[in-house]
Amino acid sequence: MFEDSIAFIKSEYQGKDSIPLHEPFLSGNAKNYVNECIESSHVSSVGSFVNRFENMVAKYTNATYAIATINGTAALHLALILAGVNKGDEVITQPLTYVATVNAISYIGAQPIFIDVEKTTLGLSPEKLEHFLKTQTTVKNGCCFNKTTGKQIKAVVPMHTLGFPSRINDILDVCQSYQLKVIEDAAESLGSFYKDQHTGTFGLLGVLSFNGNKTITTGGGGIILTNDKAIALKAKHLSTNAKKEDSWGYVHDSIGYNYRMPALNAALGCAQMEELNNILLQKRRLAQRYAQFFKSKSIDFIKEPKDSHSNYWLNAICLENIEQRDLFLSETNSENIKTRPLWQLMNHLDIYTTAQQGNLENAIWLQERIVNLPSSVVNVKNEAAE
C-alpha cells in the first residue's frame, strides 16, 4: 500500500541499506576538538571546553546562562529541584512525551498530573490546563493546591514535542494566575523558535538534550537554560556535588549531584554548534520535500504551528487511524526504513497509571496516528530550499 512512500524515502537516502530514524551528523572540527581535549588531559568537567560549549549555547538561544549536564534527564531533574519542587509535591505535564520527562519528576518523589495536548502543536494545551486549574485547584497564600489530593502543585512542565514549539506564552499566562513555575522540556527543540524567541527561554528554566539522536549531539549531554543569576549559580554548584570553592579541601554544603558535563562531550558539542545552522538548513529542506511528496499522496505531513519556526527534529505524518499507522510501520520497517510511532502515553505505562489526569482525547488521537520518518541530514540532497 505504501510502496511509493518507501521508494521516496529510499531515494532521499541513496546508498543506505538500512535507513535509521535519526543518526548524528559528525563533521567539521569534531575530531580536532576531541583530540585537543584528550591532549590537554582535561577530559572530565575541568577545562575550557565545558565553559566554551555553555557560552555557545547561551549565545545561540539568547539565554543569559547555560549550565551543561551529563544528559537531558539530569538537567530536568536539577531544574525541578531549582524550581523548588519537593517530595510530595505535584507537577503538571503532558502524557504525550518521552518517559524521561515524568521520570525526572518521580526522582524527587513528586507526583505527575497529566493534562492533554493540542493537535496543532502536539504540546500542552493552555485551554485544558486552565480548565483543570479552574475546576480542580484552589490558590491559598500564594500557593496552588489540588482539591482532590490536598497536595501543592508546584510547577508545570510543557514539552516542545518533536521540536514543534508549544503555545508557551499562553501556558505562562495561565501559570502566572495560579502561582505555578514553568520549566520547559525543550530537549528536542534546539533551533526552534516561538515568536522569534528560542524555546527553553520563556519559563523560569528550560532544558535541552544532546543525546545521540538529537539535532546536535555531545554523545550524551544536556543543558539548563535560565535568565536568573542566582539559579544559574546554584545549578552549577549542585551539578558539581555541591562542592565549595577551596584551595585543596573537600567541603560540600548540601546534597549535590555528579551531573556536570565532561569536557570530552563538550568538545564534541563545540564542533556540533559550529555546524548547527547548516544542519538546521538541511533538515528544513528535507521537511519541505517530505511535505511536497505526502501532499501528493493526500497524507497529512505535520508542519510547524502558527508563530513558530521548527527545527524539524523528527519529521512526522498523521495517518487515518491506528490500523493504517501500523501498516505503514510494518511495510517501511520490513524494508529497513526505521520509522517509529510516538511514545506510548505516559498514563498507559504501568508505573504511571495511578496518576491524576484530565480528558486526554487529543493525546490518544495523535498517538494512534502519527509516524516519525527518517530525519537524518547524512546524505540528504543539498538542493535549494523551495
CATH number at residue 336: 3.90.1150.10
Residues 8 and 35 in one domain: no
Q: How many domains is the chain partitioned into structurally? A: 2
Residues 86 and 184 in one domain: yes
> Containing domain of residue 174, as a range?
30-272
Residues 172 and 296 in one domain: no
State which amino acid sits at residue 182.
Answer: V
d(CA 360, CA 307): 25
Would 254 be classed as within a structural domain? Answer: yes
Residues 59 and 73 in one domain: yes
CA angle centred on 214, ends 325 and 66, rounded to 5°: 140
Would 287 be classed as within a structural domain? Answer: yes
- Which of the listed residues 218, 249, 272 is the one where a domain comes to its end? 272
Would 312 be classed as within a structural domain? Answer: yes
Residue 129 belongs to domain with CATH number? 3.40.640.10
Residues 309 and 211 in one domain: no
Residues 256 and 350 in one domain: no
Q: Which residue has the cell 517501511?
A: 332
Going by pLDDT thresholds of 50, 70 and 90, the confidence category of residue 381 is: very low
Instruction: Return the pLDDT at 380.
Output: 40
Residues 292 and 337 in one domain: yes
Q: How far is CA 263 from CA 61, 80, 232, in A?
A: 21, 25, 19
pTM of the model: 0.95
Q: Percent of the chain, pLDDT > 90?
A: 91
Instruction: Return the pLDDT at 46.
Output: 79
Q: What is the mean pLDDT of residues 56-64?
A: 98
Q: Which residue has the cell 502543585?
A: 153
Q: Does 379 score more than 70 pLDDT?
A: no
Would 385 be classed as within a structural domain? Answer: no
Residues 91 and 179 in one domain: yes
Residues 122 and 237 in one domain: yes
d(CA 273, CA 279): 10
Going by pLDDT thresholds of 50, 70 and 90, the confidence category of residue 110 is: very high
Residues 44 and 166 in one domain: yes
Q: What is the mean pLDDT of residues 208-225?
A: 97
Beta strand pairing call for 205-209 and 222-226: antiparallel
- Which of the listed residues 253, 272, 291 is the one where a domain comes to its end? 272
Would 326 be classed as within a structural domain? Answer: yes
- Which of the listed residues 232, 248, 272 is the one where a domain comes to its end? 272
Helix residue spans in 62-167 (DSSP H) = 72-82, 99-108, 126-136
Going by pLDDT thresholds of 50, 70 and 90, the confidence category of residue 347 is: very high
Residues 147 and 35 in one domain: yes
Would 378 be classed as within a structural domain? Answer: no
d(CA 274, CA 266): 12
d(CA 1, CA 8): 14
Residue 303: DSSP 8-state: -
Residues 108 and 63 in one domain: yes
Would 377 be classed as within a structural domain? Answer: no
Instruction: Return the pLDDT at 385.
Output: 38
Q: How far is CA 13 from CA 254, 272, 332, 336, in A?
A: 51, 22, 14, 12
Closest C-alpha among 361, 374, 372 to residue 119: 361
Would 120 be classed as within a structural domain? Answer: yes
Q: Does 27 score more than 50 pLDDT?
A: yes
Instruction: Return the pLDDT at 383.
Output: 44
